[in-house]
Amino acid sequence: MIWLGRSVILAVAAALLLASGVPASAAECREVKFADQVKVGEADLVLNGLGLRKATMLSVKVYVAGLYLPQKMTDATQILAGDRDWRLVLHFVREVEASDIRDAFSEGFEHSTGDKVEPLKPRIDALNAFVPDMKEGDRLTFTHVAGQGVAVEVNDAAKGAVDGADFANAMLGIWLGPEPPNDDLKEGMLGGECD
């Protein structure tokens, strides 16, 4: 067996991480890793925070959400007030049926818009049509470019897009608005602890 120095081993490990597509620098929540930054079009977005979605009174863990913005921000009102690039990644830590995700999105839009959801309903239906059953380890990604709508990907495969900056703002409001799915999720996405 050949003995390698520590610096050689570290260099090889770093090269393997880069070659495997796993970022050498990453944030983690519940053993789920997120890149510290991503590229959206020409813009570099930084990881603003990670939050854990818990459901039911038993606090069943559903997904870890990572929010990317042009710069770190902790004020949800300020984030929702502007039309800026963002990416939201939901990494599922359990299997969830598409119908449950769609129901949660529909309810979330109602909360986000203050029950003024009627003008968005056709676009919410379009969004929901892109959502499949999600398995543990699957990722559902939403990307918004300022002035445009929301592109949807499942495990890095493009599913389609929903037009409108108004839709994008209402959608992000599901997680950052006054009635998020759970408060810990919102706090984590705004840079707090992910627990």
Distance, CA of 138 to CA of 89 (rounded, Å)? 10
State the pLDDT at residue 25. Answer: 62
Asked if residues 67 and 45 have their Cβ atoms less than 8 Å apart, the reply is no
Distance, CA of 87 to CA of 65 (rounded, Å)? 10
pTM of the model: 0.85
Backbone angles phi, psi at 116, to 5 degrees: -105, 55
- The yes-or-no verdict on residue 16 having pLDDT over 80 is no
Spatial neighbors of 39 by CB under 8 A, at least 6 apart, are 45
Mean pLDDT over residues 114-142, rounded?
A: 96
Q: What is the pLDDT of residues 26-74, one digit of tens each?
A: 899 989 999 999 999 889 999 999 999 998 878 899 999 999 999 999 9
pLDDT top residue among 161 and 58:
161
Six-digit token pair at 48?
């603003």
- The yes-or-no verdict on residue 159 having pLDDT over 70 is yes
Mean pLDDT over residues 127-150, rounded?
A: 95
Q: What percent of the chain has pLDDT over 90?
A: 76
Classify domain 26-189 by CATH number: 3.50.70.10
State the pLDDT at residue 35. Answer: 96
State the pLDDT at residue 195. Answer: 77
State the pLDDT at residue 66. Answer: 98
State the pLDDT at residue 13. Answer: 35
